[in-house]
Amino acid sequence: MKLGAIYCQDQCLVPRVWRAISPWERTRGLLGRPALQAGEGMLIDACRLVHTVGIGYPLDLAFLDSRGQVRKMVKGLAPSRLAGSLPASSTLELAPGTLAGIDLKEGDYLRWQEVCA
């Protein structure tokens, strides 16, 4: 899994974002991992539907199309729930409350940039 950050234009919105690319990483997602903290997220490629079954904490979600445009947002998805977006091609999972704090709106374009060591 690679580590990077999420940007909207030149502004860093989420400074610590893991990118799940491989089939195993995408399948596992946040299962068995500690809750995301403020400033953290997970970007799951090839993902238009997520669940929180087995995850004991809520999540904020942003569903992105293939160009990185935000197509749908879900705030505070509770444990054992499903959410999705048909036009999405990836999902950004965030700590609860993040969407309210970063002034993101549907139609914005996001990009993930790998952190160089």
Cα 19–chain centre separation: 9
Contact between residue 45 and residue 90 where contact means Cβ atoms under 8 Å apart? yes
CA dist 38 → 15, 16, 17, 24, 93 (Å):
9, 9, 11, 25, 12
CATH class of the 2-114 domain in this structure: mainly beta
- Model pLDDT, residue 112: 97
SS3 category, 87: coil
Diameter over CA atoms, the chain: 36
Question: Residue 28, SS3?
Answer: helix
Residues 36-93: tens digit of each pLDDT: 999 999 999 999 999 999 899 999 999 999 999 999 999 999 999 999 999 999 999 9
Average pLDDT of the residues of the chain: 94
**pTM reported for the whole predicted model:** 0.94
**Res 117 pLDDT > 80:** no
- For position 29, what pLDDT does the model report? 86
Q: How far is CA 14 from the centre of its chain?
A: 10
